[in-house]
Structure formats: structure tokens, C-alpha cells
């Protein structure tokens, strides 16, 4: 089933009294995104992407092409506590602009107090992710992914259920700004305030969160003064075969799991970095076993998607479980070739994990080398993005 058919199905489900649990099943399906083009091969929408030269356009689904009206509606919904079962949680609760749309805590807490097993990823350039979330090969569009926090039951995040869905929609209808915003975003629908359009609008806002204005970008575009000498040395280390960072975090988005409309062949890789090796069996904790939880393939144990390193300096803590607080810890972990846990339920030598990625072999760094590498990673921060009013809270 392709994304167009699947999204048509989930919109029908969300408009009907059918169980939301059935809707969530759709988010586990695979499928390619589809893109709208005109005869010249350029975007057929009027949305202004604001990309620098040389950066390809993201993919837009055929049934949810970008528009400024949908982007602005999604921005309002993103910051709105009304969009949760008990009125206490919004997307911004776990994705804050000043933190690069990450959260700054190891694991997020949902609207009913449940702790999520994974660290909330930043949303910068999520439009370019070949898959969404840490470890689900099937989640290939933002429209699919957004269903999870809104309606998931384990763990509860926004906490929207069959019992409160009508109440949530009534809250939106009762807010004076929404009837006009929904009508502008979906002008051909008589009653546009429904969960299908909520998902489409939120996806449009997140898809529009693109950023390519870091010091490293300016250096790549020819500004030789954009990077300090330390950052240039760190850049050379990052792209060296000795450290091999770029194999998993390369390309214009600093992730090898990248998708755009210029690509013919798409890779969706996942990696085991040796974070755990419980009992020497290669095992990971029960609630964090990577794509093994989806595939059941033993060799997929502990494999997670390599996130983009853009804005990495302002999006701690790190790793899928938020177990590392600083970039220095992360560099030391990769230099060691994995993590050794000496006691407790998770004891094991991650360096010897049988499923560990071949690029995580360890390396030697001097103290100066380590600082240079961190300085380069800091140069990936786009300060204009985290202060841009275009992405800010419209309710203030």
C-alpha cells in the first residue's frame, strides 16, 4: 500500500467513530512517499522553502502538498495544549525551539505522567529523514509518525483516545482562530476541523522546519572565515577514515539516513553502536532493542537510525536513551569503540557486541584533537533557526 492510499485510509478512520487503535496500525505499514512535480521538475506548490543554493528540495506527499496556510495552522496546533486528552500536553512540551526542537531531558514524560523509553529527537530537517523516529523502518513519512504521539497508548503521550477525541476536536472548534485557519488551509472542505487535517497541518509545519545556516554551512559555501582554526581541524578529523564519523553522519544533513526528491536510490540504514551487550549476548534492554522490535531479526538487535548532527551542540542529552550528557562523553564513547557497563542488570562490554556496526571500531585522540572535533560539532548550530519567529509560539 502506498502512502497516498494509506493516508486516505487514516483520514477516513479519524473522521469516523472507528477505534483509534485501528488507525495506529496504519503507522506500522511501510511504503514510499510520493512527490508532486510540475512539467519542469520543480515543486508544484507555492510554498517558499527558503533553501540555499545546492540543497535539494524535500519530498512532499501527493495528498499533502505544502502550503503556507497549512504551515501556519500546524504552527498553532504544535504549540496548543488543547491537542491532548487532558489539555496539558502539546508538541512543544517535548520539542522546544530554543533547544533546537529537542527537549533537554533524557526521556520525555507524557500527559499522564508516563515516561517514554527514548530520548525525544530534535525536529530540525525532519523533512529529509528517510525514516522517522529512532527505530522503525516502516515510519517513512511525517504524516505516519505524527499519529504515534497523538494517539499512542504505550506509552501515553498526548493521550487522545476514542473516549476523548470528540472533546479534543470541540476544544479546537471553540477556539476563535481555528475555524478561519482550517478553512484557509483546507478550502475545499465543508467541515475541515478533523484529525486528518490536524495531522496534515502538523506534518506541514514540521516539514517546513528546514535549516542550513550554520557556520559550517557558510564555510562550505565559500566563506573561509566562518570556521575557526580549531573547527577546521575538527572538520578534517570528522571526515577522516581514522574516525569514520562521516560514514553514518555524512552528507548535507549529517546523516546517512537522508531522503530528498533528487534521489533515485534511497538507503534507510540503522546501526548498533555498542551501547549495550547485556551478558555478552549482544542484547539490549527490553524497552530499547532497536529495529529488532519491528523485524524480530536477531542481527537487528540494538540498531537505531543515525540522527542528523545539525544543532547537535544544543540538543543534549545524547543517544537513543539519553544516557550521555555531553559531546565529550559521546566522543569518548566512540573513541573506545563502545561502552563497558561493569555491574548491574545491563552489565556487559559493548565493544564486543556481536551485532556492532563495522564503523564503530574505536580511535585514538589527543586532548587537543578531542576539543577540535567538539568545536566542529558546535559549528553545526544554526542560531538563526532557534530564534526565528517563523517557528515560534503564535499564542504569545
**Digit-coded pLDDT (tens) for 6-16:** 344 444 444 44
User: Which percentage of the chain shows pLDDT scores above 90?
Assistant: 87
pLDDT at position 16: 42
Whether residue 307 is predicted with pLDDT greater than 60 in this model: the reply is yes
Contact 56, 260 (CB under 8 A): yes
- State the cell numbers at 80: 496548543
Residue given cell 506527499 in the structure block: 61
Residue 40: CB partners within 8 Å, gap ≥ 6?
none
Cis peptide before 16 (omega within 30 of 0): no
Whether residue 339 is predicted with pLDDT greater than 90 in this model: the reply is yes
147-173 mean pLDDT: 97
pLDDT at position 7: 41
Question: Higher confidence at residue 120 or residue 34?
Answer: 120
Q: How far apart are CA 94 and CA 116, in angstroms?
A: 11
Residue 213: CB partners within 8 Å, gap ≥ 6?
52, 382, 384, 385
Write down the domain spans for the chain.
3-210+387-391
Q: How far is CA 136 from CA 110, 132, 189, 270, in A?
A: 20, 7, 33, 9
Tell whether pTM > 0.85.
yes
Whether residue 42 is predicted with pLDDT greater than 80 in this model: the reply is no
- At 68-87, the pLDDT tens digits run 999 999 999 999 999 999 99
What is the pLDDT of the chain when averaged over all its residues? 90
Task: Give the three-state DSSP class for 37.
Answer: strand
Return the beta strands (E) in 276-372 as ranges. 340-341, 348-349
Whether residue 17 is predicted with pLDDT greater than 80 in this model: the reply is no
Q: How far apart are CA 58 and CA 126, in angstroms?
A: 9
Tally DSSP H helices, then E strands, for the chain. Answer: 13, 2
Q: How far apart are CA 244 and CA 240, in angstroms?
A: 6
Long-range contacts, stretch 364-368, CB < 8 angstroms, 24+ apart: 364/335, 365/237, 365/331, 365/335
pLDDT at position 396: 86
344-357 mean pLDDT: 98
8-35 mean pLDDT: 44
Residue 87's CB: how many other CB atoms inside 10 A?
Answer: 16
DSSP string, 137-155: TT--SHHHHHHHHHH-BTT
Return the beta strands (E) in 242-389 as ranges. 340-341, 348-349
Q: How far apart are CA 31 and CA 3, in angstroms?
A: 6
Q: Burial letters for 29-46: b for 16+ Cβ neighbours within 10 Å, e otherwise?
A: bbbebbbbeeeeeebebe
pLDDT at position 292: 98
Contact 150, 162 (CB under 8 A): no
168-176 mean pLDDT: 98
- At 361-385, the pLDDT tens digits run 999 999 999 999 999 999 999 999 9
pLDDT at position 24: 46
Contact 305, 270 (CB under 8 A): yes
pLDDT at position 46: 74
- Phi then psi for residue 383, to 5 deg, are -65, -30
107-124 mean pLDDT: 95
* SS3 sequence of 284-305: CCCCCCECHHHHCCHHHCCEEC
Q: How far apart are CA 339 and CA 324, in angstroms?
A: 11
- At 238-247, the pLDDT tens digits run 999 999 999 9
Q: How far apart are CA 160 and CA 46, in angstroms?
A: 33
208-223 mean pLDDT: 96
- At 277-306, the pLDDT tens digits run 999 999 999 999 999 999 999 999 999 999
Question: Higher confidence at residue 35 or residue 183?
Answer: 183
Whether residue 29 is predicted with pLDDT greater than 60 in this model: the reply is no
User: Which percentage of the chain shows pLDDT scores above 70?
Assistant: 89
Pick the CATH number of 3-210+387-391 from 1.10.579.10, 1.10.760.10, 3.30.70.141, 1.10.3720.10: 1.10.760.10
pLDDT at position 45: 54
Amino acid at each position: 500500500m502506498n502512502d497516498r492510499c494509506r493516508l486516505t485510509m487514516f483520514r477516513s478512520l479519524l473522521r469516523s467513530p472507528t477505534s483509534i487503535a485501528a488507525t495506529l496500525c496504519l503507522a506500522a505499514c511501510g511504503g514510499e512517499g510520493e512527490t508532486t512535480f510540475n512539467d519542469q521538475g520543480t515543486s508544484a506548490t507555492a510554498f517558499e522553502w527558503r533553501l540555499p543554493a545546492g540543497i535539494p528540495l524535500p519530498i512532499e506527499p501527493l495528498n499533502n502538498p505544502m502550503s503556507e496556510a497549512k504551515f501556519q495552522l500546524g504552527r498553532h496546533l504544535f504549540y496548543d495544549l488543547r491537542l491532548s486528552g487532558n489539555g496539558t500536553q502539546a508538541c512543544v512540551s517535548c520539542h522546544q525551539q530554543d533547544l533546537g526542537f529537542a527537549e533537554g531531558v533524557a526521556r520525555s514524560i507524557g500527559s499522564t505522567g508516563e515516561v517514554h523509553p527514548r530520548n525525544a529527537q530534535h525536529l530540525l530537517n525532519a523533512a529529509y529523514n528517510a525514516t522517522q523516529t529512532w527505530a522503525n523502518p516502516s515510519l517513512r513519512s511525517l504524516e505516519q509518525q505524527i499519529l504515534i504521539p497523538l494517539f499512542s497508548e504505550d506509552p501515553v503521550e498526548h493521550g487522545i483516545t476514542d473516549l476523548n477525541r470528540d472533546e479534543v476536536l470541540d476544544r479546537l472548534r471553540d477556539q476563535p482562530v481555528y475555524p478561519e485557519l482550517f478553512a484557509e488551509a483546507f478550502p475545499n472542505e465543508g467541515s475541515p476541523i478533523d484529525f486528518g487535517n490536524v495531522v496534515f497541518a502538523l506534518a506541514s509545519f514540521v516539514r517546513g522546519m528546514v535549516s542550513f545556516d550554520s557556520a559550517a554551512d557558510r564555510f562550505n559555501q565559500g566563506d573561509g572565515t566562518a570556521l575557526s582554526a580549531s573547527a577546521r581541524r575538527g572538520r578534517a578529523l570528522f571526515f577522516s577514515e581514522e574516525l569514520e564519523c562521516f560514514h553514518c553522519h555524512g552528507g548535507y544533513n549529517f546523516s546517512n539516513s537522508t531522503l530528498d526528491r533528487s534521489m533515485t536510490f534511497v538507503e534507510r540504514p540503522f546501526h548498533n553502536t555498542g551501547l549495550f551487550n547485556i551478558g555478552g549476548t549482544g542484547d539490549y534492554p527490553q524497552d530499547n532493542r532497536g529495529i529488532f522490535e519491528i523485524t524480530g531479526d536477531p542481527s537487528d538487535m540494538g540498531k537505531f537510525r543515525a540522527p542528523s548532527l545539525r544543532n547537535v551542540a544544543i540538543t543534549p542529552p545524547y543517544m537513543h536513551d539519553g544516557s550521555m550528557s555531553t559531546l565529550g562523553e559521546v566522543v569518548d564513547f566512540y573513541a573506545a569503540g563502545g561502552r563497558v557497563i561493569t555491574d548491574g542488570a545491563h552489565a556487559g562490554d559493548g565493544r564486543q557486541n556481536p551485532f556492532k556496526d563495522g564503523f564503530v571500531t574505536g580511535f585514538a585522540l589527543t586532548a587537543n584533537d578531542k576539543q577540535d572535533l567538539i568545536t566542529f560539532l558546535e559549528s553545526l548550530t544554526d542560531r538563526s533557526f532557534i530564534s526565528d519567529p517563523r517557528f515560534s509560539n503564535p499564542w504569545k
